[in-house]
Amino acid sequence: MSADTFYGSDFGALESFDPEIAGVLVSELDRIRGGLQLIASENMSSPEVLTALGSTLSNKYAEGYPGRRYYGGCSEVDKAETLAIDRCKALFDADHANVQPHSGASANQAVYGAFMQPGDTILAMALPMGGHLTHGTKVSFSGKWFNAVHYGVDKQTEDIDYAEVERLAKEHQPKVILAGGSAIPRLIDFEFFRKLADEIGAIFWVDAAHFIGLVAGKAIPSPVPHADVVTFTTHKVLRGPRSGALVCKEEHAAKLDKAVFPMMQGGPQMHTIAAKAVNFKECATPDYQDYAKRVVENASVLATALGEKGIRPTTGGTDTHLSLHDLQGVGVTGADAEARSDAAGIVLNKNAIPFDPQKPNIASGIRVGTPCVTTQGMGTDEMREIAELIAKAVTQGDADPDHAVSKEVRAGVTDLVTRFPAYSRG
Please state the residue numbers annotated as binding site for (6S)-5,6,7,8-tetrahydrofolate.
Answer: 127, 131-133, 250
Catalytic residue, candidates 33, 89, 242, 407: 242
| Helix 19-34 / helix 404-419 crossing angle, nearest 10 deg | 90
DSSP string, 212-280: HHHHHTTSS--STTT-SEEEEESSSTT---S-EEEEE-GGGHHHHHHIIIIII-SS--HHHHHHHHHHH
Tell me if residue 236 is catalytic: yes
Catalytic residue, candidates 186, 236, 312, 350: 236
Closest by alpha carbon to 291, among 368, 187, 217? Answer: 217
Catalytic residue, candidates 15, 33, 51, 63: 63
Catalytic residue, candidates 161, 207, 282, 356: 207
Which residues, including other chains, have CB under 8 Å from residue 24's CB and lie 6 or more apart?
none
The CA distances from residue 424 to 2, 30, 37, 113, 264, in Å, are 10, 11, 15, 43, 39
Contact 63, 259 (CB under 8 A): no
Which residues, including other chains, have CB under 8 Å from residue 87's CB and lie 6 or more apart?
277, 280, 281, 284
Name the CA radius of gyration of the chain, rounded: 22
Tell me if residue 61 is catalytic: yes
Tell me if residue 207 is catalytic: yes
- Indicate the annotated binding residues: 127, 131-133, 250
Closest by alpha carbon to 416, among 366, 345, 368? Answer: 345
Catalytic residue, candidates 15, 61, 189, 398: 61
Tell me if residue 79 is catalytic: no
Tell me if residue 242 is catalytic: yes
The Cα–Cα gap between 421 and 373 comes to 9
Using CA of residue 409, residue 411, residue 415, residue 421, what is the dihedral sign?
positive
Tell me if residue 63 is catalytic: yes
Neighbours of 419 (CB within 10 A): 11
Positions annotated as catalytic residues are: 61, 63, 207, 233, 236, 242
